[in-house]
Amino acid sequence: MKHLSVSLVLVMGAVLPGFGQDNLVQYVNTRQGTNSKYEFSYGNTYPATALPFGMNTWTPQTGKNGDGWKYQYFVHTIRGFQQSHQCSSWVNDYAVFSLFPEAGELVVDEDQRAASFKHEQEVAQPGYYKVVFDNGIKTEISPTERGAHLRFTYPKGKKAMLILDGYTKMSQVKIDPASQKITGYVNNCRWAPQGFRNYFEITFNKPFKSYGTWENRHNTIQADSMAAEGEGAGAYIEFAAGQQVEAKVASSYISPEQAALTLQRELGGAAKFEDTRYAADKIWNTLLGRMKIEGATEEGKATFYSCLYHANLFSHQFFEYGKDGQPYYYSPYDGKVHNGYMYTDNGFWDTFRGQFPLNTILHPTMQGRYVLALLDAQQQCGWLPAWSFPGETGGMLGNHAISLLTDAWVKGIRTFDPQQALKAYLHEATNKGPWGSANGRPGWKEYYQLGYVPYSQQTQGAASWTLEFAYDDFCGYQLAKATGQPFYAQIFSRQMYNYKNLYDPATGFMRAKDEEGRWITPFDPLDWGGPYTEGNAWHWTWSVFHDVQGLINLMGGEANFTAKIDSVFSVPGTIKVGGYGQVIHEMTEMAAFKMGQHAQGNEPIHHLVYLYNYAGQPWKAQWHVRQIMQNMYNATENGYPGDEDQGQMSSWYVLSAAGFYSVCPGTDQYVIGSPLFPKMTITLENGKQFVVEAEHNSLENVYIQSATLNGQPYTHNWISHSDIMKGGVLHLVMGPKPALQRGGAPDDRPFSLTAIN
């Protein structure tokens, strides 16, 4: 693992009074993964100061307005402090405005006003961000769910200015000196109905000495102006020199009145900045403490709790509380206001794998609201969400809303009508929507008729689509079977084995076919792109989450299967750009970590090492998972092996550190790996505790020698969700050598559709 940076050590030293040993926020570095750029991602994250799943986050801004890389660790100037919602650098951001303090003359141009800073002058924690510019201005931020409390401390003897930047597209500002507040809206957004607005209200605890408006297209300034509306409209205010000024801000997608109500509701009781900070840290310490680790190094605590923080940022709440205390929301799908809960800013292709299964353990109540909101979204826009931001983008591939719905149902989260869910999914599976390749199904007719999506220049990614459609159809089948709906079960049972149609026994890989059933040639398993999305045949051949035994049989048995997985690590990490025609960052990241063709930096291979458990060699899963955790993750700015992706990269680590992973969401099983710490205590929402004890655990003792569950011998290579939620103790004895005879019986293998021969 990399050594902790000096700035991280400073963050960890910032212990708050009243928290003592339980002050886990001190271990979180929100800048984990921020040393990223277009060509290479160590996470593509930004230091989000936010509450868990909050509607808004706040972050320092080093990049230009509209730049997807809003904070890059190697940039040493800040041009604003943004309200943000961004879930990926590749889709930029929406509903953004920023505040920026200046000392001296007013400079509005975002390049010219940018102030220099050093990372040693930053504190970057979930509920508290602080930076002192080289010019002496100090900015502090602490969040609420739909707002934030900011404090600006200006140097003595210099003008104290504050700029509000309207970011991109249309905005409005209104300055009210008598009430010491600014109100307005921004509408910057790519995927939202006409008329979308993010209304905000900002109140200050000090009077305005002067004020005016400006616009960021030509940086023209209107002194003494109290209102402006147009592209990039903004405001500035001046306070008495050398003051410390506090600002409270909240926003609403519904109305200015709702923004004012939310400001009072979330920040009205905070007499001073420390009150908001204390409340935020209390929320985060409670959540982080629900996965309490023991026996870890300081570096291990930093990595784990930084990942646990990132795993609990997305999806964002998109609902607000009215005067009656009930939730309601502006729909990013139909533009109307509805009662109930809504969540956005999540791409399910990434997060169905680990982030949502983690939610079913930690946040089952929220997950119950979430799956119900999926069906509300489907009613409002005609399609199940695949990547909402905040409306439907159709990004990536697959119809994985059904994975979330089925996973919730089989784990006892039954807040929705399964018949409605299956009807919506059947519509998804037999139509193509108007947006990207995850909105409905491209090639759905051919998939149904031929059992695969034929590859052509118009169906880039066809092999990947086929594999993920088959998994989704399994989820549809599971839900139909569990709820007694034979009509749907019959349809999806026909299609969930379609993965077999792309397996080529001559090469041992999943390959693309044309409409006539001929293999696409030439074929090189190292070639990226073409039939494969963000990967190659080495990565995608394993995407049979629901029927690993069926894949084992296709490969000619367990020996061939495990040898093939071994080869993923032993084949050189050669990059062949294939259909992409150029190097993309996922390729570079795979090569940089020198684990052959294993590309932990992207989702298709996240489950691979756990597949050894299905083929009688669980010790190999145990060894590899520990190597990945120890060598590819840390709490620094270089903290991830690729895009963090709305909590999925972190959730893989959090679950793996606990000793298990969700290979096949839609079943109630997690596949066992090798826990990272001697002890983890998971406190559940129902008040019970599930404890994972790893006796003799160490860097060398990665292999499970024996196990008991609640005192009874346990040989399975999986643990059920119900056993976790009941509470109890999974006790593992660890050692330096594989226990070759443990976990080999048929009952010890995790779930597969196909029975073991």
Q: Which spans in 188-297 are helix H?
A: 256-267, 273-288
Please give the pLDDT value at position 741. Answer: 92
Cβ proximity of 63 and 70 under 8 Å: yes
DSSP secondary structure string, 159-170? -EEEEEE--SSE
Length of the chain in terms of residues written:
757
From CA 253, how far away is CA 383, in angstroms rounded? 22
Residue 493 within a domain = no
Please give the pLDDT value at position 1. Answer: 37
Locate 119 and state its tokens. 């990372």
From CA 249, how far away is CA 83, in angstroms rounded? 10
Q: Using CA of residue 225, residue 228, residue 233, residue 236, what is the dihedral sign?
A: positive
Instruction: Say if residue 390 is preceded by a cis peptide, omega within 30 of 0.
Output: yes
Closest CA to 281 of 70, 153, 123, 118: 123
Please give the pLDDT value at position 82. Answer: 98
Locate 610 and state its tokens. 């756990």
Please give the pLDDT value at position 5. Answer: 37
Please give the pLDDT value at position 17. Answer: 40
Locate 419 and state its tokens. 């018949």
Q: Within its chain, how far is the Cα of 289 from the centroid? A: 20
What's 647's DSSP letter? T
Residue 752 within a domain = no
Q: Which spans in 612-720 are helix H?
A: 618-632, 648-658
Rounded to 5 degrees, φ, ψ at 496 are -75, -10
Domain that holds residue 195: 27-290
Radius of gyration of the chain (CA): 26
Cβ neighbours around 17 below 10 Å, total: 7
Residue 71 within a domain = yes
Residue 58 within a domain = yes
Domains contained in the chain, number: 1
DSSP secondary structure string, 327-347? EEEE-TTTS-EEES--EE-EE
Rounded (5°) CA angle 708-713-714: 70
From CA 665, how far away is CA 682, in angstroms rounded? 20
Contacts of 3 by beta carbon, 8 Å cutoff, 6+ apart: none
From CA 49, how far away is CA 83, in angstroms rounded? 10
From CA 148, how far away is CA 276, in angstroms rounded? 8
What is the mean pLDDT of each successive set of 10 residues along the chain, which is 757 residues long? 36 39 91 97 98 98 97 98 96 96 96 98 98 98 98 96 97 98 97 96 98 98 98 98 97 98 97 97 98 98 98 98 98 98 98 98 98 98 97 96 98 98 98 94 97 95 98 98 98 97 98 98 97 98 98 98 98 96 96 96 97 97 98 98 97 98 98 98 97 98 98 98 98 98 93 92
Residue 265 within a domain = yes
Q: What is the CATH number of the domain that holds 129?
A: 2.70.98.10
From CA 724, how far away is CA 715, in angstroms rounded? 16
Residue 687's region, left for phi above 0, alpha for psi from -120 to 50, else beta, is left
For residue 62, give the 3-state DSSP assignment.
coil
Rounded to 5 degrees, φ, ψ at 210 are -155, 170
> 506: burial class by Cβ within 10 Å (0-12, 13-18, 19+)?
exposed
Q: Using CA of residue 519, residue 525, residue 530, residue 536, what is the dihedral sign?
A: positive
Residue 379 within a domain = no
Residue 134 within a domain = yes
Is the pTM of the predicted complex or chain greater than 0.85?
yes
> 61: burial class by Cβ within 10 Å (0-12, 13-18, 19+)?
buried
> 18: burial class by Cβ within 10 Å (0-12, 13-18, 19+)?
exposed
Residue 431 within a domain = no
Please give the pLDDT value at position 756. Answer: 86
